[in-house]
Structure 1
Amino acid sequence: MKKTVLSLLSAAFAVSAIASCSTDDDNVIANPNTYVLVHGAWQAPYVWDAVKSDLTNKGNKVVVVELPGHGADKTPTYQLTLDVYRDKVIEAISKTDGKVILVGHSMGGMVVTSVAEKIPQKISRLVYIGAFVPASGQSLGELSMADPNSKLGPQLTQSDDKLTLDVKRDQLTYLFINDGSQAAKDQVLANYRAEPAIPFGNAITLTSAGFGSVEKVYIKTLQDIVITPGFQDKMIAGAGIKKVLQVNTSHSPFLSQPRAVSGLLLQIGQEISVKP
Structure 2
Amino acid sequence: MKCVLSTFILVAGAWHGRWCWEKLTPLLEKKSHRVITPELAGMNGDQAELPLDPLSNWADQIAEISREQADPVVLVGHSRAGLVISEVAERVPDKLGVLVYLSAYLLKNGQTLYEVAQRAENAAGFAAAVEFRDDGTARFKQEYLAELLYNDASDEDREIASQSLVLEPTASFTTPVRLTNDKFGRIPKAFVECAWDNAIPPALQQAMQEASRVDIRYRLESGHSPFFSAPMDLMDALEGIATQLNL
- Normalized against structure 1, the TM-score is what? 0.84
Match of 1:189 in 2: 162
2: CA distance between counterparts of 1:38 and 1:213? 21
Deviations 1:180-216 (A, max 9, x none): 1111111110101121112222111211101110001
Given that residues 78 and 198 in structure 1 are in contact (C-alpha distance below 8 angstroms), is that contact kept between their aligned partners in structure 2?
Answer: no
1:238 corresponds, among 198, 208, 211, to 211
Aligned-partner SS, 2:245: helix
Q: 4+ runs of 1 displaced by more than 6 Å?
A: none
2: CA distance between counterparts of 1:33 and 1:74? 34
2: CA distance between counterparts of 1:269 and 1:77? 32
**Deviation, structure 1 residue 272:** 2.3
Given that residues 192 and 218 in structure 2 are in contact (C-alpha distance below 8 angstroms), is that contact kept between their aligned partners in structure 1?
Answer: yes
Aligned-partner SS, 1:79: coil
Match of 2:79 in 1: 106
**Deviation, structure 1 residue 273:** 2.4
Q: Which structure 2 residues correspond to residues 96-245 of structure 1 after superposition, within 5 A?
A: 96-150=69-123, 151-161=125-135, 163-245=136-218
Q: Which structure 2 residues correspond to residues 76-115 of structure 1 after superposition, within 5 A?
A: 76-77=49-50, 79-115=52-88
> Which of 1 and 2 has higher RCO (CA within 8 Å, sep 6+)?
2
Which structure 1 residue ranges, 5 or more long, are not aligned?
Answer: 1-28
**Deviation, structure 1 residue 80:** 4.0
**Deviation, structure 1 residue 233:** 0.6
1: CA distance between counterparts of 2:246 and 2:51? 42
**Deviation, structure 1 residue 227:** 0.6
Aligned-partner SS, 1:152: helix
- Normalized against structure 2, the TM-score is what? 0.94
Structure in which a larger fraction of residues adopt helix = 1
| Number of corresponding residues | 245
**Deviation, structure 1 residue 78:** 5.6
Given that residues 69 and 80 in structure 1 are in contact (C-alpha distance below 8 angstroms), is that contact kept between their aligned partners in structure 2?
Answer: no
2: CA distance between counterparts of 1:160 and 1:229? 32
Which structure 2 residue ranges, 5 or more long, are not aligned?
Answer: none
Match of 1:22 in 2: none
**Deviation, structure 1 residue 160:** 2.2
